[in-house]
Structure 1
Amino acid sequence: MKNLWLFLLCLLQLSCSSQVQEKINGVSFVGSRDKVSQENIDPVVSVGANYAAVMPFGFLRSLESPNVIFNTDRQWYGETRAGAKQYIELLRKNGIKIMLKPQIWIWRGEFTGDMMMQSEEDWRTLEDSYEQFIITYAELAEETKTDIFCIGTELEEFVKYRPDFWESLIAKVRQVYKGKLTYAANWDEYSRTPFWKELDYIGIDAYFPLSDTEHPMPEELKAGWQKWKEPLASFSAEKGRPILFTEFGYRSMDYTAHKPWLVDRNEMKVNLEAQANALRAIFQEFWTEDWFAGGFVWKWFIHHNKVGGANDNRFTPQNKPAEEVIRSFYKKQ
């Protein structure tokens, strides 16, 4: 009887280990002035995405401002609670799972990771307003049965100087939302983020520098990943959580993998192949790893036929060779 029990246990373990966990093949679905229709969702389905990040926004007037302004009638529809709900509901009707990812935008596009209050009073005001912002969308996430909720994006100084607030915020979010949680750390921030064990995924906006060449080729890009990949795998094992690329992407321009985070309006020469090569390399390096959960391509606009294309040097892969690279990887998962 004992030997039979051991045999059955071994069979169970073998069965569990052979099950391949579904990868998150996501797109970052950008909020618009408009409601979405089926016409806007069809390209997401066509590219093979099984997840979309829906991203309502809150705004700060400056890096020192403590008041998060959100869900107002002055915002674009897709950046509000009502808009996020409408986007989620139609995406879900099409079998697309959701990560709800409320984000902060600072006037003139200043980097959120540098946000720093000038007094204890301002820190407390920021904490109160940010909590209201996040709980509003955590409640929406629960109402819509969203699969993943992201509690913040690239807020390193806020996390560093107010760790107790974040521990408390996570607990409060857990009270109203029963799904999986993550935080979107910047690529050079994640190792210092203190609360990963309180979340379900280690979220990283994966703008790691890989190459300083004008026209990087796939093998060079894959080689460029090696100094980052091993620490990511080790960090995942240490924290006991899978890595999720809450954002990943490349601009369709020369030197695309040198500083992949660049969002300025420079007129660097369009390079469609470099963008496609960089996406192909990230898929080949990460999508077969057990410790890697998947990710969300940055970024995907709702009016598919009006964006991207051969003359665009921005992040979107739409209507470019990069879109076909994404489709080929997502559809075979």
Structure 2
Amino acid sequence: MKRLGLFFLCLLQFSCNSQRAEKINGVSFVASTDKVEQKHVDPVLNVSANYAAVMPFGFARNLNSPNIIFNTERQWHGETREGAKQYIQQLQKNGIKIMLKPQIWIWRGEFTGDMMMNSEEDWKILEDSYREFALTYAKLAEETKSDIYCIGTELEEFVKNRPQFWMNLIDEIKKIYSGRLTYAANWDEYTRSPFWDKLDFIGVDGYFPLSEARHPTLKDLKLGWQPWKTKLKSLSEKHDKPILFTEFGYRSMDYTAKKPWLVDRNEMDVNLDGQAKATQVVFEELWNEDWFAGGFVWKWFIHHDVSGGSADNRFTPQNKPAESVIQKYYSSLQESGF
């Protein structure tokens, strides 16, 4: 009788473990002027990523412009519908799953979260323009059987001022696209996004400030994560939805964890160790949590051999110690069934 009970206990444990969701071990696959070839995908496979975010772009002239310009001949190949489809298909041939994540770029790199229209008329033009943009790529997501579709990225003022538009847009997308949905909220925006109950993941661009130190230690970084983990878990439980880091990463520079969202081309000293440690800690603190779905490293260029490197203080982990950290954790998660 004891043996029978032990057998059923083991069977139950195996069943529960087999039902644990696969972790999303992703990279943000940056659009380029070029088509993607196998040589561009091999480095993604080498770090054991199982997902890639493909990111076509739309453009706005300024923060008050209501027209989203997209899918034009003047854009880079990877920024267009045709290019995104080609990227997706090449990645899928290699067994890599896809999050299709169309994004907006505002002239001179102004922050999309501050997009604000000056009149009701302009808000309606923006709604119509963005709807066309989002539905165009929702159709592509369905056509290519992409696993996740991200309906928008860091658009706090747009969401805050036009919440009903977003509710209606999600309903329209669901009529077109049969996969899972998320939205990429900025790290200081996600608690106010009104539509998590309508989506499959609570998407967060995880650039949380963790430490004021110039050279943060592993202990500093772990301590820095604790309050953010509590808040993320609480929101996940409130909506019964997993947290997905639609972007996460650190620059290879001093003070890497002080303001991880900084994208300005400052002259901060290169600090490869800081980036590697911060990357290690995000895996150690979050990847084993049941409420956490995984994430997409920001960012991964298709020309791996000439990207990043020891003199680069930007976000990419390519050809830096952080790449080895990612490979270590992604491969170990893959081996353990995550």
Q: What residue identity is the alignment partner of 2:152?
A: G
Cα distance in 1 for residues equivalent to 2:35 and 2:326 = 25
Alignment deviations for residues 229-275 of structure 1 (CA, whole Å, 9 cap, x no partner): 01100110001100000000000000000000000000100000000
Q: What residue identity is the alignment partner of 2:97?
A: K
User: Normalized against structure 1, the TM-score is what?
Assistant: 0.96
Cα distance in 1 for residues equivalent to 2:140 and 2:14 = 37
Q: Give 1:240's aligned residue.
A: 240
Q: Give 2:90's aligned residue.
A: 90
Q: What residue identity is the alignment partner of 1:57?
A: F
What does residue range 212-223 of structure 1 map to in structure 2 within 5 Å? 212-223=212-223
Cα distance in 1 for residues equivalent to 2:144 and 2:12 = 34
Q: Give 1:5's aligned residue.
A: none
Structure 1: gaps spanning 5 or more residues? 1-7
Cα distance in 1 for residues equivalent to 2:44 and 2:17 = 29
Q: Give 2:113's aligned residue.
A: 113
Cα distance in 2 for residues equivalent to 1:9 and 1:66 = 61
Cα distance in 2 for residues equivalent to 1:197 and 1:312 = 40
Alignment deviations for residues 185-233 of structure 1 (CA, whole Å, 9 cap, x no partner): 0001000000000000000000000001011111210110001101100
CA shift at 1:13, angstroms? Answer: 6.2
Cα RMSD, aligned residues only: 1.5
Alignment deviations for residues 152-211 of structure 1 (CA, whole Å, 9 cap, x no partner): 000000000000000000000000000000000000100000000000000000000000
Structure 2: gaps spanning 5 or more residues? 1-6, 334-338
Cα distance in 2 for residues equivalent to 1:52 and 1:196 = 22
CA shift at 1:60, angstroms? Answer: 0.3
Alignment deviations for residues 9-39 of structure 1 (CA, whole Å, 9 cap, x no partner): 9998655432232100000000000001000
SS at match of 1:62: coil
Q: Give 1:210's aligned residue.
A: 210
* CA 123–16 in structure 1, closer or farther in 2 if over 3 Å, else same: farther
Q: Give 1:79's aligned residue.
A: 79
Cα distance in 1 for residues equivalent to 2:95 and 2:237 = 31
What does residue range 148-163 of structure 1 map to in structure 2 within 5 Å? 148-163=148-163
SS at match of 1:238: helix
What does residue range 53-68 of structure 1 map to in structure 2 within 5 Å? 53-68=53-68
SS at match of 1:181: strand
User: Normalized against structure 2, the TM-score is what?
Assistant: 0.95
The worse-fitting range, judged by mean Cα deviation, of 11-20 and 211-220 is: 11-20
Alignment deviations for residues 94-141 of structure 1 (CA, whole Å, 9 cap, x no partner): 000000000000000000000000000000000000000000000000
Cα distance in 1 for residues equivalent to 2:24 and 2:72 = 31
Q: Give 2:39's aligned residue.
A: 39
Q: Give 1:3's aligned residue.
A: none
Cα distance in 2 for residues equivalent to 1:327 and 1:111 = 31
Number of aligned residue pairs: 327
SS at match of 2:49: coil
Paired-residue identity, %: 68
Cα distance in 1 for residues equivalent to 2:61 and 2:302 = 27
Q: Is 1:301 the equivalent of 2:301?
A: yes
* CA 18–75 in structure 1, closer or farther in 2 if over 3 Å, else same: same
